[in-house]
Chain A
Amino acid sequence: MLKTIRIALWIAVAVSLVVVGVLFWRADRQEQAVAFRPEFSLPDEAGTIRTSEEFRGKHVLVFFGFTNCPDICPTTMSEVAQVMDDLGPEAEDVQPVFISVDPVRDRESGLDEYLAAFHPAILGLAGDEAQTRAAVESFKVFADPEKAASAPGGYTMSHSSSLYLIGPQGDWLRQFEYGTSADDITADLKERL
């Protein structure tokens, strides 16, 4: 009889240890999930400040680029446009955002008209140097002007070329490296929506 009670107690201890372990593990995971919430606060072409908080509840696809880039940037915007078309009605829950890393030049040449040529849903943001730097740093990406005689105006930008996916709570979900096909991005989003 006593032996049975002892065994039962030991089982209770083991079970509670496992429960506590699982609770710790889950808390840790949740903490990790909320640990990275990249943010931006930048003006659109009309001059209105748009922030990452504004898009809570939506999945946000963020790209850093510049419109004087004729290769990588239009290619990626084309994929994004294709994704928005292929999502159908679910596209309402996805906001593509283009953050200019060459804001002065992009504002001059007209960011909205350029992006609308790919897809009207793409939001273009071009801030001042401090706002741009803050967004770049918050996303932990890279963007720097490079002197180049082989580029218009004597400089070009080297910049991170991935698409970043931010979840409805503002948490960083994943990146799509340059060259990820529209089909793959659409399939990934459809699973989440």
Chain B
Amino acid sequence: MMKPLIAGLGLATLLPALALADCAKVSQGDLSVSAAWSRATIGTARPAVFYVTIQNTGSTDDRLTGIETPVAGMPMLHETVMTEGVASMPHAAAIDIPAGETISLAPGGFHGMLMDLEAELKEGESFPMTLQFEKAGKVSIDTEILPIRAREAACGVAP
């Protein structure tokens, strides 16, 4: 009776740890990019999304100025803006990554909008994304495709 329980508890604590370990992290200069994820799509008619966490450990500000990926012909940075309960999502020319701060592209805020999809994004697969920074240059990261119902990165928000 106790053994399976203990084993179960062990698994319950181990599984999230394994999932966390799964979260790819790419560092370049002062920037570290992690927890890149997207939602599966149905076909290619609708735009897909790109979320990621960017940490600036340095003492100079940087900016994310663009994204590029082979899966979309028209990738773009957007920001969801809420004005008295009404949501709109204008183009974001650049996203500030201030020194010492962690900025997330996350549901309800900044996101990469992947238009003109080349192929359906299938759950469980991944695709490369190149982020263009003003100072740090280009950083490429593998983006996990999560279920359409996903609400956050499988590895949680990176520290």
Contacts and interface: CB of A to CB of B under 8 A. Distances in A.
B138 interface: no
Contacts of A118: 148-149
Contacts of A151: 89, 113, 115
Chain A: number of interface residues, binned into ranges = 35 or more
Contacts of A52: none
A49 B157 CA distance: 43
Contact of A70 (B49, B82, B108): B49
Contact of A160 (B46, B85, B107, B115): B85
A71 B151 contact: no
A142 B91 CA distance: 21
Contacts, number: 95
B108 A75 contact: yes
Contact of A79 (B39, B87, B151): B151
B89 A69 contact: yes
A131 interface: no
Contact of A148 (B48, B82, B91, B148): B91
Nearest to B123: A117
B88 A146 contact: yes
A114 interface: yes
A142 B88 CA distance: 11
B58 interface: no
Contact of A75 (B42, B107, B114, B115): B107
Interface of A: 67-72, 74-75, 77-79, 81-82, 108-110, 113-114, 117-119, 142, 146, 148-152, 156, 158-162, 177-179
List the 10 closest pairs (A to B, CB-CB), nearest first.
A158-B88, A150-B91, A70-B49, A161-B87, A75-B107, A109-B45, A117-B148, A78-B149, A152-B115, A72-B87
